[in-house]
Amino acid sequence: MSGVAAPDTGARCVHDLLADTARTRPGRPAVRDHEGAWTYAELADQARRAAAWLDGLGAGHGERLLCALPGGRHFAALLFGALSRGVVVVPVAEDASAYQLRHLLDDARPAAVVAAPERVARIAPLTDVPVTAPDWAGTPPATDLPEVPPDHPAMLLYTSGTTARPKGIVCPHRAVVWAARAIAARVGYGPADIVHCRVPVSFDYGLYQLFLTVLAGAEVVYPPGRASARELVEIRRSGATVVPVVPTLGLLLAQLADRDRRPTAVRLLTNTGAALVGPDAARVRAAFPGAALICMYGMSECKRITVAEPDEDLTHPGTVGRPLPGTRLFLLGPDGEPVPPGATGEIVVAGPHVMDGYWGDEAAARQRERFVPAPDGAGRALRTGDFGRLDAQGRLYFQGRRDDLFKRRGLRLSCQEVESAALDVPGVAQAACLPPEPPGERLTLWITGTAEPDTVVEGVTARLGPAGRPDRCLTLSRLPLTPNGKVDRAALQERGGR
């Protein structure tokens, strides 16, 4: 087990974060999108108007509100306004398909849906509840809001569903606030920072950028549309100092920086969601000279588990840092007993940030499997299904998901190892593989870039030995991605990877 004492944050709700900063820094810039900007006082006023407007939609205390908005001023106001009413917010991808929305609507059973204006007509036929665009400009601010207890659910966050149907994670106010404060203490956003948030707000990594920004009294900027060849232009234009990235976004920025070496104001890059390692991390660092990189590890069921020190991966390659203060981290072997430092075990986490579980009756079996009594007997814990190892100083090294681990020629390997070895081969831009199922089937590797498949196979073999040799290597123009920017494993499987 690894961990240190937790900070005393008190029992607070998520909307209190905005109320505090609006009171102490009312004139500071808070949120900006392509249509305008609001100060903290303006954001708080808009949140109160949104809270009053929701009453007309029938979204009250304990009801769910499906929010299919992109990151921006209206999303921020609606989120804080809804939470102040005790409404449970369900953020979903703004471009979610009808198939995806049907599942979310059936599972979450919202009282209403708020979507971008151009999406309203497409979503309305899928449900009997009100579907509308944000429209509270003429609504007087709410003045009489209910008391919301910290144990009340703030959000249902749906898993990305890369290999299965998404599950709704019940996120109470107390756990969200605790996690946000603990992360803020590690990443060190300051009041002068401008956070460029390209990561979708339906993904907890993107969503929490708003909370981290508000805690710091900083400004968050939501660029329009999708990531494109203008991404670096947007970063320069906004004066962004902090850029959260997943590997696909980081590599896009690296490619753009190769063509345009003009400096930016970026001082800090953060990474989670999928690991940015080795050559990829080096390329992203080269795009932002002087900027530090903070690697992190977590999952939506507990938000964040570890956060590395700035650039700690340079001195300790592969580390995702030490546990958050107050986090109890266990690495357990197949027998359920702790493994010694340096040995691989399943990552099990306990602490105030472990969420309440999964939403709905259908998820009950999965909940019993994942949310279990803590190994030390103190409360609940989360079995992550991920594997890693701890060094003697308590740093965690992520080694792959249970589903990504496999045995070949008597050796245990992970897909991450194969992918990292492929990325080390010159000319490989991206790499992804799936574990062979059933065991003994061929191992398929997908790549993008200019490297020849045979060269990549030989390069991986040279780095990992015969057990890691892919049986085939396929070149794609791009890897399929989920809305959260992760590699879509299900889509790869459909392409005949097994």
Over residues 112-143, the pLDDT tens digits come to 999 999 999 999 999 999 999 999 999 999 99
Out of 116, 151, 170, a domain closes at 170
Summarised one tens digit per residue, pLDDT across range 152-183 is: 999 999 986 544 578 899 999 999 999 999 99
Whether 130 is covered by a domain: the verdict is yes
Query: Which CATH number does the domain housing residue 414 bear?
Result: 3.30.300.30
Q: With pLDDT > 70 as the criterion, what percentage of the chain qualifies?
A: 94
Position 31, amino acid: V
Summarised one tens digit per residue, pLDDT across range 230-246 is: 999 999 999 999 999 98
Whether 45 is covered by a domain: the verdict is yes
Which has more confidence, 421 or 222?
A: 222
Q: What is the end-to-end Cα distance of the chain in Å, rounded?
A: 37
Whether 398 is covered by a domain: the verdict is no
Whether 145 is covered by a domain: the verdict is yes
Q: How confident is the model at residue 10 (pLDDT cuts 50, 70, 90)?
A: very low
Whether 227 is covered by a domain: the verdict is no
Whether 181 is covered by a domain: the verdict is no
Query: What does 134-167 look like in DSSP terms, one character per residue?
Result: ---TTSPPP--PPP--TTSEEEEEE---SSS---
The predicted structure's pLDDT at residue 362 = 74
As a whole number, the mean pLDDT across the chain is: 91
**Which residues lie below 8 Å from residue 367, measured CB to CB, with a gap of 6+?**
357, 358
The CA distance from 275 to 202, in Å, is: 19
Summarised one tens digit per residue, pLDDT across range 452-478 is: 999 999 999 988 888 889 999 999 999
Out of 118, 139, 170, a domain closes at 170
The predicted structure's pLDDT at residue 55 = 92
64-88 burial code (b ≥16 CB/10 A, e <16): bbbbbbbbbbbbbbbbbbbbbbbbb
The CA distance from 241 to 258, in Å, is: 20
Domain that holds residue 28: 11-170
Q: Which residues pair with 434 in a beta bridge?
A: 444
Query: Which CATH number does the domain housing residue 49 bear?
Result: 3.40.50.12780
The predicted structure's pLDDT at residue 366 = 80
Out of 170, 203, 219, a domain closes at 170
Q: Give the number of domains in the chain.
A: 2
Contact yes or no for 419/448 (Cβ under 8 A):
no
The predicted structure's pLDDT at residue 483 = 73
Whether 282 is covered by a domain: the verdict is no
The CA distance from 168 to 105, in Å, is: 11
The predicted structure's pLDDT at residue 310 = 98
Whether 263 is covered by a domain: the verdict is no
Q: Is the pLDDT of residue 101 over 70?
A: yes
Which has more confidence, 490 or 263?
A: 263
- The structure's pTM equals 0.85
The predicted structure's pLDDT at residue 164 = 56
The predicted structure's pLDDT at residue 160 = 64
Average of per-residue pLDDT across 67-71: 98
